[in-house]
Amino acid sequence: MTPHTHTNDLTQETSPYLLQHAHNPVNWMAWSTKAWDKAKKEDKLVLVSIGYSACHWCHVMEHESFEDEMVARIMNDHYVSIKVDREERPDVDQIYMDAVQIITGHGGWPLNAICLPDGRPIYAGTYFRKEDWKQVLLYMTDYFTRNRDEVMQRATEITHGIKVLDTIPLIRDTTFQAGDRVAMFDKIDRAWDYEKGGRTGAPKFPMPVTMQYLLQNYHYTKNEMALRAVTVTLDNMMDGGIYDHVGGGFARYSVDDSWTIPHFEKMLYDNAQLVSLYSAAYQITKNESYKQVVFDTLAYVGREMTDVSGGFYSALDADSEGVEGKFYVWTYNELNDILGHDFEAFCEYYDVTKEGNFEHGWINLRRQTTDHGSRTSNADELKQWGEKLMEVRSKRIRPGLDDKILTSWNALMLKGLIDAYNAFGEERFLETALANAHFIKKNCLQADHSINRTFKWGKSSISGFLDDYSFTIEAFIALYQATFDEQWLDEAKHLADHAIQHFYSGERGVFFYTSINDDPLIARKTETTDNVIPSSNSSMAKSLFLLGHLYDSAHYLHISRQQMMNLKENALTHTAFYANWAMLMDSFIDEPYEVAIAGANSLELRKEIAKSYLPNVIILGTLGESKLPLLADKTKSNDTRIYVCKDKTCGLPVRSSEEAMNQMR
């Protein structure tokens, strides 16, 4: 092995993204007290450079600037340079992302913020070409030296903007009405692309939580357009190039408006949520293609994203051999050689042309569609094609794997597995979910019911943030509802109590993203906007609503309602970006059914009921004794009975899932 010319402090880190920069000529340091103390002692500006391992433009800027000796000399002479993995430290990323949006009006990664030695930013941007970056570095150094008072004032103003940017007013009282559902759908409807799916225009990001809300809106209102908005999107996504037709799973987003050419990195959080979404859509539509997408995506996760410990890895890079998408795309002649006499049929099915649809004439597979949907091909034929292409692809140089295991993203995948198990009854999905839940419990949960964020090389580290708690609570509640094993509900309750104690502000009626035990940053942020991942506050509010019903806890329900009251206007005004809140609002508009199943056959009956799409149903049950209030007096019968309850009133017990469903209808 060729010895490295340069080595910096990042060699001690576990993050694949930080390790990528461990042999840059830049004297990178990890985010630490040591780094900031160095800046204060030397009276230097600090560069906080943030990215993640699967970020294409992060790699480009590293190659152009951070591997360049002259650029490194400027940075080393005039700055203390700190590298941050945004997936490990989203709290840091939140602050400096707010800064770059305040300064430039837009954000993204790589994110580069120039800060005072106390952490307050004075300038921020995203990707810079090498010459531009050198000019910025030299200009800001000179500015800091010559205009210290002006710099301090600028830092004060930007920091104030960061602190007030996500301030949520405390609402003392409000009502939730069924008519709100019409208004919220209208907000999404105006910007929806009913031909290609997703929000109008390019790029196109899968927005699973927005589409989950649309499915729920359809459930309550029977508005066919809400369902169509989802099915058009799911159809175009699974037919398009954003879906991996050879190996399964979805890329992060499409750069065009037809889902043809993706940004090729594959993220665990996307695939987790899309498994949940396609499972829910199947429950409503019974579309077998949605089922196949779920099965193939979970096969991909099992094959390429699962650690022997039971944890799930974070991401696959977009690049291999330094070229974006090279692992996934094909040439016309290559496909012809692989498929032989099947080539003509393959070309028709996957819209293959000599000209290609990607740069350099490459071909990214997408299904050819007609006015009546996708062109058809039999399952055996598709399987044979896929196996031939997979064999060739397996010999290629693979994209980089980000093998750190994040608690919050693992919880999303755990929930996806349970949702797939509910929809399809496939026992292996539940087995995988249980393995992951035991992994989280063993490796991420601490004795004091706190949680750590990341796991690698046999140890967990970094105190968890609110999403680590909220997504894990949601997943553990779902796992309880799938197994009726109350240990998972107990763990969810312990985590919720810890989060309330360490993250919740009663004065503001909202959860902070960081714990009171964490080292303070220049601002303590809250996260309320639902984007490609639901916000931690909306997830927490939904979890507390469920726990409030399961434990008959007025305390949990009060906090959940206060959060919902605070965010009601946001949900009404910007529904697409507060879709998880909109889903919770439905539960306050119309109290859910509580379906209590007690007796030896409770799991079999639960499985029958869970096959249906039931967003307004909380399922709980026991095979014997239970400490849950709603089950306490329902375990004396010799046979299995189902109790359908609502607003603290239960109907007569029934013995079949069909009778229970009729009571809810």
Whether 149 maps to a domain, the answer reads: yes
Whether 77 maps to a domain, the answer reads: yes
pLDDT of residue 637: 66
Sign of CA dihedral 525, 530, 533, 535: positive
- The percentage of the chain sitting over the pLDDT mark of 70, rounded to a whole number, equals 98
pLDDT of residue 92: 98
Same-domain status, 571 and 450: yes
Number of domains in the chain: 4
Would you say 383 and 248 are in contact if contact means Cβ atoms under 8 Å apart? no
Q: Where are the alpha helices (DSSP H) in 553-637?
A: 554-573, 579-589, 602-610
pLDDT digits (tens, 9 = 90+) for 36-54: 999 999 999 999 999 999 8
Final residue before a domain boundary, out of 531, 559, 589 = 589
Sequence-distant (≥ 6) Cβ neighbours of residue 15 within 8 angstroms: 53, 85, 87, 88, 404, 454, 456
Q: Is 331 exposed, middle or buried (0-12, 13-18, 19+ CB in 10 A)?
A: middle
Same-domain status, 202 and 236: yes
Same-domain status, 66 and 84: yes
With residues binned 3-state (H G I as helix, E B as strand, rest as coil), the percentages for the chain, rounded to 5, are: 50, 15, 35
pLDDT of residue 373: 47
pLDDT digits (tens, 9 = 90+) for 396-412: 999 999 999 999 999 99
pLDDT at residue 290 above 80?
yes
Whether 3 maps to a domain, the answer reads: no
Whether 174 maps to a domain, the answer reads: no
pLDDT digits (tens, 9 = 90+) for 385-394: 999 999 999 9
* Beta strands 510-511 and 315-316, pairing class: unpaired
Element (H, E) at 644: strand 641-646
pLDDT of residue 372: 42
Final residue before a domain boundary, out of 123, 138, 164 = 164
Same-domain status, 127 and 74: yes
pLDDT digits (tens, 9 = 90+) for 61-100: 999 999 999 999 999 999 999 999 999 999 999 999 999 9
Distances (CA, A) of 406 to 350, 433, 478: 35, 15, 19
pLDDT of residue 283: 98
Going by pLDDT thresholds of 50, 70 and 90, the confidence category of residue 377 is low
pLDDT at residue 4 above 80?
yes
Task: Give 372-387 as a 3 state SS string.
Answer: CEECCCCHHHHHHHHH
Q: Is 64 exposed, middle or buried (0-12, 13-18, 19+ CB in 10 A)?
A: middle
Q: Is 405 exposed, middle or buried (0-12, 13-18, 19+ CB in 10 A)?
A: buried
Whether 176 maps to a domain, the answer reads: no
Single pTM value for the model: 0.96
Same-domain status, 84 and 153: yes
Distance between CA 385 and CA 387 in Å, rounded?
A: 6
Terminal-residue alpha carbon distance, the chain: 68
Same-domain status, 559 and 609: no
The residue to which tokens 């709100």 are assigned: 180
Same-domain status, 383 and 510: no
Angle of helix 427-443 relative to helix 466-483, nearest 10 degrees, comes to 140
Whether 267 maps to a domain, the answer reads: yes
Looking at residue 518, the DSSP 8-state letter turns out to be S
- The values of phi and psi at residue 664, to 5°, are -75, -30
pLDDT at residue 636 above 80?
no
Would you say 110 and 50 are in contact if contact means Cβ atoms under 8 Å apart? yes
pLDDT at residue 368 above 90?
no
Same-domain status, 41 and 152: yes
Distances (CA, A) of 190 to 96, 159, 371, 429, 572: 32, 35, 24, 37, 14
Would you say 117 and 46 are in contact if contact means Cβ atoms under 8 Å apart? yes
Distance between CA 434 and CA 430 in Å, rounded?
A: 6
* Beta strands 649-650 and 401-402, pairing class: unpaired
For 494-549, strand residue ranges (E) read 504-505, 510-511
Neighbouring-strand partners of residue 480: none
Same-domain status, 373 and 506: no
- The values of phi and psi at residue 382, to 5°, are -60, -40
Q: Range with the lowest mean pLDDT among 138-152, 315-329, 360-374, 549-563?
A: 360-374
pLDDT of residue 124: 97
Domain interval for residue 408: 182-321+402-589
Same-domain status, 456 and 508: yes
Distances (CA, A) of 636 to 463, 633, 649: 44, 7, 19
Whether 419 maps to a domain, the answer reads: yes
Sign of CA dihedral 429, 430, 433, 434: negative
Neighbouring-strand partners of residue 282: none
- Considering the chain, what is the average pLDDT of its residues? 95
Angle at alpha carbon of residue 587, lines to 585 and 588, rounded to 5° = 65
Distance between CA 48 and CA 29 in Å, rounded?
A: 10
Quick one: tokens of 412?
A: 């999303």
Sequence-distant (≥ 6) Cβ neighbours of residue 549 within 8 angstroms: 557, 592, 594, 618
Same-domain status, 555 and 642: no
CATH code of the domain in which 243 resides: 1.50.10.10
- Looking only at Cα atoms, what is the longest distance across the chain? 84
Final residue before a domain boundary, out of 353, 368, 395 = 395
Looking at residue 150, the DSSP 8-state letter turns out to be H
Distances (CA, A) of 214 to 11, 235, 277, 563: 46, 15, 11, 21
pLDDT digits (tens, 9 = 90+) for 578-626: 999 999 999 999 999 999 999 999 999 999 999 999 999 999 999 988 9
More confident position, 3 or 382? 382
pLDDT digits (tens, 9 = 90+) for 199-224: 999 999 999 999 999 999 999 999 99
Q: Is 532 exposed, middle or buried (0-12, 13-18, 19+ CB in 10 A)?
A: middle
Mean pLDDT of 378-390: 91
Going by pLDDT thresholds of 50, 70 and 90, the confidence category of residue 163 is very high
Whether 600 maps to a domain, the answer reads: yes
For 359-458, strand residue ranges (E) read 369-370, 373-374, 401-402, 405-406, 452-456
Same-domain status, 100 and 16: yes
pLDDT at residue 375 above 80?
no
Q: Range with the lowest mean pLDDT among 271-275, 422-426, 625-629?
A: 625-629
pLDDT at residue 1 above 60?
no
Going by pLDDT thresholds of 50, 70 and 90, the confidence category of residue 504 is very high
